[in-house]
Amino acid sequence: MEWFVQQLINGLALGSIYALIALGYTMVYGILRFINFAHSDVLMLGAFAAYFVAPPVTHLFPPQSYAGALAVLLLSAVICAIIGMLIEFLAYRPLRRRPRLTVLITAIGVSLFIEYTCQHEKVFGAQLKPFPKLLAEQNFHPAGLSINGNDVVVVVVTALLLAGLWYLVQKTRMGLAMRAVSFNEKAAALMGVNINRVISFTFGLGSALAAVAGVFYAMRAQGIEPLMGIKPGLYAFIAAVLGGIGNLPGAALGGLALGLIETFAGGIPALSNYRDGIAFAILIFILLFKPSGLLGKTQVEKV
Amino acid sequence: MIRHGSRRWLIAALVAAFAVSWFSTRFNQYYLGIAIDVGINIILAVSLNLINGHTGQFSLGHAGFMAVGGFTAAKLTLLYGESLYPFSLIVGGIMAALAGLLVGIPSLRCKGDYLAIVTLGFGEIIRVIFQNSQFFGAATGLTGIAKLTTFFWAWGIAAVTIYVIAGLVNSTYGRGFLCVHDDEVAASAMGINPLRYKVTAFVIGAFFAGIAGALYAHHKRVLQPDGFNFIKSIDIVVMVILGGMGRTAGVVVAAIILTLLPEVLRSFASYRMIIYSLLIIGLMMGRPQGLFVWPIFKKNAKN
Amino acid sequence: MTSPASSSSLLQMANCTIRFGGLTAVSELNLSIGQRELVGLIGPNGAGKTTVFNLITGVYQPTSGQINFEDKSTARLNPHQLTRRGIARTFQNIRLFASLSVFDNVRAATQLHRAHGIRDALWRGRSFHDSEKTVETEVMELLEVFQLGKHRDKLAVSLPYGDQRRLEIVRALATRPKLLLLDEPAAGMNPTEKVELMKLIQFIEEKYQISVLLVEHDMQVVMGICRRIIVLDYGVKIAEGNPEEVRKNPKVIEAYLGEEPV
């Protein structure tokens, strides 16, 4: 039981991180219908942004305080939002009218470019860097359990962000524009929606969420390095597909599901080595029965 | 392209490969090694082209098929001696074809991005299985594999691959692959069974990828499961796209160029992978239809 | 209302119903087509005409009811299996193979009658070359009959609209059907092209001795060539008979002709 609750919290925290990343994948997909492979690198850049921002921030706020951590989180989110918009502007916008496959390969190219550039010794270098402690390690012990305080922070912040995102998409003008563009880009343009601004905003928003996820991920990892984004990026991608790509609640659900699966499978010794395989096996199994994901709408081809 | 006398063409290519191989001891061994790499990559790219290009089933799992063939063949020659080498190539191909059959089945239900992620997942599952299998050396993989892949084997089999796939597609039967690529609904209305063609494409493509893996194992002499991750699959996809989806000759040239490119860039050492990724992006912006497709042959790019 | 004119029936739909969720697209439809008969299926937009096609060709399975082709049930057969049994079709929105030439579009449709498959394509022996030759002659003959021979190496989608419609019909004929289903072939055509199309359909029926079921929006075309017409409205058959009878039927006038007096 104790083991179960601990794995549950742990899995929820990991799942929250995946959910935040998956939202970025799914939002871009919803609007541009392509998989932004560079998303996992934005997440890595978010962690690095925090790495460089954290020391100066300690001059303003007491170290390991919530205010300081929040400031770091916000700053790296802003930095990544700008990077995300820049990637869209430089690499994807010129290809807007091209076949999707072209854009997909470009995205792979952008991803490789960021990874290799950051690995270069004059940039970040390939070796593992210790990530600064943003928050003190504190463990709660309710009813004999041992719960990591940072895990709780991750879950709470994610829940707040999801609520905020829901409000943004459902209740604001920009959200309405986003939904309109994702439904029918041409019609939205004819209705006076500024497509470029919506797409730019979507990339910025997705990248900011990825940055937050990157910082959280780095807090749980042993250190950061330029390829750290690949694994969570891949998992979040699976999560987005699992939930039905293009579907926001689906991405959140898929992320949580994947985090839980990974933690529980990893907690069982006989399965832990097969962890990566199991996540994919479950995905394939689900797609066989629901080919467009858990919450995705089945596209019936009109004949 | 290849219509009449295609068998003569094949025999000529095999003789040429044999002749070069005969004198291969006099060549610079470093360049010979690269030449064999090129041959193996041609097999990989041309076989993936049947699945991704001709049949239009976007697969990201080719490295997985390669791994199945490589590990099977290497284990065979390690256990039962070098004389089994030609036999091991075939068995490696057949095992990979069986894996292809397994992967082909979801392709009956999943399309587009979903299929891409399912094939990617299968590739990763295959890798995880090898990583955890003591029989195949677990994470360290197999070492001490005999060096048996000569120029003749690599290029001879490359010629056979080109013959088989170009020959197949250039027949009334093979037009079915292109029909499935263009429009599945219309294809089935013409009496073409799309499911059967899709699975056939996966099985044949996987078969040759398996042989390529077997050749690779007896060329590099070391096999590690990590070498067959999805980055490797993407490398092959890039070859197909640069060559022009569904264009055998273009894909062959792209495989040659993309194998030689890193070697040419070797003098730039630490910058070469950055240049490689920029090249992918630049090519997608400049020549998205593939490097070697000129307007007169241009396909209708409407995916 | 008259019963089917011809003696033996080729296709028989009995009490066919199909529902999509709560929507009944086709309801209790009875329809039969005889040998060598040219039947028209008309009705306002959304009446369920294309759905009937999709039922006959196996794209959809009926929720209830029975479809027989040559007295054998078509239940649970896939579109490609039904094409093999002799049902060919065209599509409302043209669906040619975009990356294939005019010649290859038709050639692909001949594969179902060939014994040559994968092994022959690889071995490329004499019988393979002979068979490929036969296919070529057969395809070229068809293309010539429909004046498309000169375009053989052009991309199918590069043809003018009317030629694309014609090519789609040729491609369907290459499967050697017993029943040809044409889904709004006159859509987007000008009056001259429509007249040509009418001649073409009659010509096909005579030359290839097959049955044709024509879904059409254009009254002129249907009334001009079909000897028997079935009228659908909201998925229900409201009338059936020869053009004269249908024209006078009050239900038809109300549902359909009322919009556009003939």
The total number of structural domains in chain B stands at 1
pLDDT category of residue B80 using cuts at 50, 70 and 90: very high
pLDDT category of residue A300 using cuts at 50, 70 and 90: low
When the pLDDT of each residue in chain B is averaged and rounded to a whole number, the result is: 87
Q: Give me the pLDDT at residue A104, please.
A: 82
> DSSP string spanning A179-198?
HHHHH-HHHHHHTT--HHHH
Interface test with B, best of C87, C122, C123 (most B CBs within 10 A): C122
Domain-located, residue B184: yes
Please, what are the domains in chain C? Answer: 1-86+177-262 (3.40.50.300), 93-159 (no CATH)
Six token digits for residue A249: 């609640």
Lowest-pLDDT range, A148-157, B270-279, C23-32?
B270-279
Which residues in chain C have their CB less than 8 angstroms from residue B178's CB?
A: 97, 99-100, 104, 108
- Cα C3 to Cα B39, C7, C16, C222, C224, distances in angstroms: 69, 10, 18, 19, 20
**Highest mean pLDDT range out of A209-223, A252-266, A274-288?**
A209-223
Q: What is the mean pLDDT of residues B233-251?
A: 88
The neighbours of chain A, by the rule of 3 or more Cβ pairs under 8 Å, are B, C
- C-alpha A135: how far from chain center: 21
Whether the predicted pLDDT of B298 surpasses 90: no
Interface test with B, best of C53, C96, C104, C111 (most B CBs within 10 A): C111
Six token digits for residue C151: 């375009």
Domain assignment of residue B36, given as a range: 4-230
Domain-located, residue B287: no
Whether the predicted pLDDT of B303 surpasses 50: no
φ, ψ (nearest 5 deg) of residue C210 = -120, 170
Least Cα separation, residue C97 to chain A (angstroms): 15
Which residues in chain B have their CB less than 8 angstroms from residue A303's CB?
A: 185
* Rounded-to-integer distance, Cα B232 and Cα B228, Å: 6
CATH top class, domain A2-125+147-289: mainly alpha
Q: Which of B128, B131, B303 sits opposite A101 (nearest CB)?
A: B303
pLDDT category of residue C258 using cuts at 50, 70 and 90: low
Lowest-pLDDT range, A122-131, B235-244, C119-128?
C119-128
Q: Give me the pLDDT at residue C4, please.
A: 44
Domain-located, residue B285: no
Whether the predicted pLDDT of C6 surpasses 50: no
Q: Give me the pLDDT at residue A301, please.
A: 62
Q: What is the mean pLDDT of residues A196-203?
A: 94
Q: What is the mean pLDDT of residues C200-224?
A: 89
Query: Under 8 Å CB-to-CB from A263, ≥6 apart: which residues?
Result: A7, A10, A11, A14
- The answer to whether A72 and A54 have CB atoms below 8 angstroms apart is yes
The neighbours of chain C, by the rule of 3 or more Cβ pairs under 8 Å, are A, B
The complex's ipTM works out to 0.87
Query: Under 8 Å CB-to-CB from B184, ≥6 apart: which residues?
Result: B194
Whether the predicted pLDDT of B153 surpasses 90: yes
Closest CA to A280 of B133, B128, B231, B69: B128
Q: Give me the pLDDT at residue A296, please.
A: 76
Q: What is the mean pLDDT of residues A187-214?
A: 94
Using a CB–CB cutoff of 8 Å, tell me whether B134 touches chain A: no
pLDDT category of residue B120 using cuts at 50, 70 and 90: confident
Q: Give me the pLDDT at residue C261, please.
A: 46
Q: Which of A35, A276, A284 sits opposite B118 (nearest CB)?
A: A284
Domain-located, residue B40: yes
Q: Give me the pLDDT at residue C47, please.
A: 84
Domain-located, residue B263: no
- The predicted-structure confidence for C152-181, as pLDDT tens digits, reads as follows 999 999 999 889 999 999 999 999 999 999
- Cα B222 to Cα B142, B157, B225, distances in angstroms: 6, 21, 10
pLDDT category of residue A207 using cuts at 50, 70 and 90: very high
Domain-located, residue B48: yes
Size of interface A-C (CB pairs under 8 A): 4
pTM: 0.87
Q: What is the mean pLDDT of residues A231-251?
A: 88
Domain-located, residue B159: yes
Which residues in chain C have their CB less than 8 angstroms from residue B302's CB?
A: 98
Higher pLDDT, A301 or A32: A32
Query: Under 8 Å CB-to-CB from A286, ≥6 apart: which residues?
Result: A242, A293, A294
Whether the predicted pLDDT of A103 surpasses 50: yes
Whether the predicted pLDDT of C256 surpasses 70: no
